[in-house]
Chains A and B, each alone.
Chain A
Amino acid sequence: MADALIRVEDASLGYPGRVVLRKVSLALRAPEFVAVLGANGSGKTTLLRSLLGFLPPLAGRVERAPQLRLGYVPQRETLDDLYPLTGRDVALMGTYGDVPFWGRVGKRERDRMRAALAACGATEFARRRYSELSGGQRQRVLISRALASDPQVLLLDEPTAGVDREAEQAILGVLARLRREHALAVWIVTHHAEAVRGAVDRVVHVDAGAVTEGGPA
């Protein structure tokens, strides 16, 4: 593993009976800010789900550092607006992994949640209903939730999709700051190559079933 938090070696990634990505080799290290670029349907999400451990490799190896803590930010459209939750309710979910079912969410967890909201510039959304927030505001709350889980790696699926240019830059600014201040490995999956240019340390291209590591963005 050396200093890699996640190392993928010569892996075939995909679903049972269907290989999407072949001979994938890459490593996630901290701190760094990486963008996974590729067209729709190229296999970016498959790569992300494999890094998260949702999809076991069909061949090769995907190794994670012991006790690795992952912070995941899904596409916000996958979350249902029906739930009567405030921004702080959503952010607090990040701490649930450290609270047993018989325990209570205490001051330590609430402090972590507040710190995460503050780090993402989302404190003002804490008391507002999540479903009534704008796309960019929701994204900040979801990043806060991931950050509240005290991760070493932050994996984000299309965090800037469907938000305006200003919100996009604000989100990328938050992620760059988190990488710097919290020494995180931040990997975002996106198809907006232009948006991340200059914001990330390096890019990884996903295309035609192959993953290639690019240089600095």
Chain B
Amino acid sequence: MMDFFSPDFLFRNAVTGGWIVCVMCALLGVYVALRRMVLLGVALPQAGAAGIALVFLLTHHGGDEETSAHALALGGSLVATFATLGVLVLGGRTGRRTPVEWRIGAVLAAASAATLFCVALNPTGDLEMTSLLRGELLAISNRDLLLLAIVAALVLALFAAFRRELLLVSFDAEFARTIGRNPARYDALLYLLLGVGISVGVMTAGPMVVFGFLVLPALAALRVTSHLGATFAVAAAIATLSSLGGFEIAYRADLPAGPVYVLLAAAIWLLVSLGALARRRLATAALVVLALVTLPSCGLLRTPDERAAEPAPAGSLPDLAGRAIAIQPFRNDTGQSLRLQSANPLDELGHALGRPADAPVTVLDVLQAHAARELARRGYHVAQGDSPPVNLLGTLSVFSRKADDPLHVRLELALVDAASGTVLWRGEARKPVPVPGALTLAEVAQDAAPAIFAEAFAAR
């Protein structure tokens, strides 16, 4: 996690946003568990995801209007979540009562199908939506993070301010009435907080992470605590450990973050539950041991940056006798824009490459960044100035992939003496590159780049 404090760490927003969502959901989840509303915790995030998918479809998300699309998607998530709350909560108070499980089952089935249906129909936004459903946490812009932090702070402030009333009406609504507290009013407040928290959580981390953290930390905390205050504290601690530890594991092992977060929280819940069968103290000790073991053990894995920093053979590259290489902007002959749509990490990448803030980031930018890194691994000095003695020129003429096929690519590279114009070296990459698991164009470029340069520099 030390990378988190590095100024060029690209995933700071993702780590922070994921942590906020996990802790917020874990705290709200204590009442989801205590009030036996776990099924509601499944249905609401799925409904929120359906609302986002519908908005993405209606607004043809994937174009240039990312700001308005995000706002609309948040609106879609809020509307769908509160509509579902209306069906599930208010629906039981009118007419002939039906078991709430029936309504939750119907809503869950409809929301799941609607989500996939909207994704399938969306010609432009399916990759981003699928990424959201998988629990990818990479694309959180500064604006989205600020919005998330404000909403989470408001939700948790109200949650804390009315903690006594929420406990009272949850534990014994009739007694609450006799001392002047209206249960319906505070039930509405709890549902409001749940609805808002789940809506912004789904926008940020997807339904799987939100549901996982509404349930698992609270269930684990309730096994080992005897006071409600301690339950909230332990649930927040488990959420923090699961999200930060989960990100560390996901980052180092190149795994999707959301599922790792949830699996780590599930592992803690399992350990705690097993421990609680024996002794409560044992479970607490297990938590501490897990905390001590999990994070250091991540050191056994290498981060992508660490892997990329390992030395590599020079291959066919010439000996430049210490002369610096400047990466010149690659030429795009593919006939496509190759523009990347994801928000914040790519903005930072563009900024690192010296591009204006409003300039689109493309596959070429990703390849240029990788070229610099791969040359550095081979012992070459990559210069930042405008007039170094050797230029790396590149021309990308093919970069296409259909469905799950390998990426078809053709990248021609040349090292040219800037003073004389003499070509010192030529290299080419044209082999198809398998990129399993890559959903977005950014992921395709990131995953394929090492193989492309390994071939071009003939290191294999």
Contact = CB atoms under 8 A, between A and B. Distances in A.
A74 B164 contact: no
Contacts, number: 71
A195 to B, nearest CB: 24
**By CB atoms of chain B within 10 A, which of A90, A97, A145, A149 has the most?**
A97
Contacts of A105: 164
Interface stretch (B4-12, B43-51, B165-173): B165-173
Interface string A57-72: 0000000000000111
A102 B165 CA distance: 11
B178 A70 contact: yes
A145 B226 CA distance: 19
Interface residues of A, number: 29
Interface string B173-204: 01101111100000000000000000000000
Contacts of B171: 79-80, 83, 85, 90, 93
Interface string A91-104: 00110110101100
B162 interface: yes
Interface in B61-96: none
Given A71-B178, A74-B172, A80-B171, A101 B226 contact: no
Contact of B227 (A71, A79, A89, A99): A89
A140 to B, nearest CB: 16
A151 to B, nearest CB: 9
A22 interface: no
Nearest to B227: A84
Given A83-B228, A89-B228, A145 B175 contact: yes
B34 A80 contact: yes
Contacts of A182: none
B179 A102 contact: no
A72 B227 CA distance: 24
Given A84-B228, A86-B227, A101-B162, A79 B172 contact: yes
Interface in B328-359: none
Contact of B231 (A70, A84, A93, A146): A84
A149 B179 contact: yes
B280 to A, nearest CB: 11
A102 B167 CA distance: 15
A129 interface: yes
B61 to A, nearest CB: 40
A79 B227 CA distance: 16
A78 interface: yes
The list of the 6 closest CB pairs from A to B, nearest first, reads A97-B179, A72-B178, A70-B178, A97-B180, A96-B164, A129-B226
Interface of B: 33-34, 36, 161-162, 164-165, 167-168, 170-172, 174-175, 177-181, 222, 225-228, 230-231
